[in-house]
Amino acid sequence: MDQVLNKAGTYWFSKRANKEMDSVGQELNVKAEECWWRGILICRGSGLMDQVFNKVGSYWFSKRANKEIDSVGDDLNSLSTSIEGGAKWLVNKIKGKMQKPLPDLLREYDIAVGIFPRDATNYEFNEETRKITVYVPSVCEVGYRDSSVLRFTTTVTGYLEKGKLVDIEGMKTKVMMMWVNVTSITTEASKIYFTAGMKKSRSREAYEVLRDGVIVDKF
């Protein structure tokens, strides 16, 4: 019987001790939480918490502002490359890249000024590679005094050389009742030569006058 009572007493004491320890732990957690809130209230009352929140807010705003500024900078850098045609030409003018009129550039390279429609005034020219891109407002045809006709798409590209425009894309002419791509134009004295499958000479005088284009449905 003594052994039984001893075991029962030991078990009761163990359970009681565990219960007391759990109670102490809970009280410690409550005390810690009370201290945390009191610390917040003390900081708030002394103005310290406002300073902390102000610093956190300033840091967040600074990071946010830097992110927004970087985004705006990226948008401005991509603006020039994402706009086409006349709008891109206007952006270049705003940036200070004023260009000479297209006829003046063609004269400088001894090219007949009338090889493009009158309203094709917007262009880009890379002075290093000598690549030229001419923007035509719409797909059109231009008829000349010698009864020849040129057809243009909205973007014509090529490379300027003295007396030559080579590697042309976006221009056609009629050969034997068929539209053929013009790949190069060469000027020599009073003659102008169009390479469109074959090299054909025409009067340069007919191409020295700017003419209006007539809109057509397709290139």
Segments making up each domain of the chain, as ranges? 2-82, 102-215
CB 152 within 8 A of CB 213: yes
Pick from 126, 178, 120: which is nearest to 153 by CA?
Answer: 120
CB 133 within 8 A of CB 156: yes
pLDDT tens for each residue of the chain, 219 residues long: 455 444 444 444 445 545 544 554 455 454 445 544 454 444 445 554 455 445 545 555 455 545 554 554 554 444 444 455 556 556 555 544 568 999 999 999 999 999 999 999 999 999 999 999 999 999 999 999 999 999 999 999 999 999 999 999 999 999 888 999 999 999 998 999 999 989 999 999 999 999 999 999 988
Which two tokens mark 216? 């057509």
Question: How far is 28 from 78, CA to CA, in rounded Å?
Answer: 60
- Whether the predicted model's global pTM rises above the 0.75 cut: no
Q: How long, in residues, is the chain?
A: 219
- Fold (topology level) of 102-215: at5g01610, DUF538 DOMAIN (2.30.240)
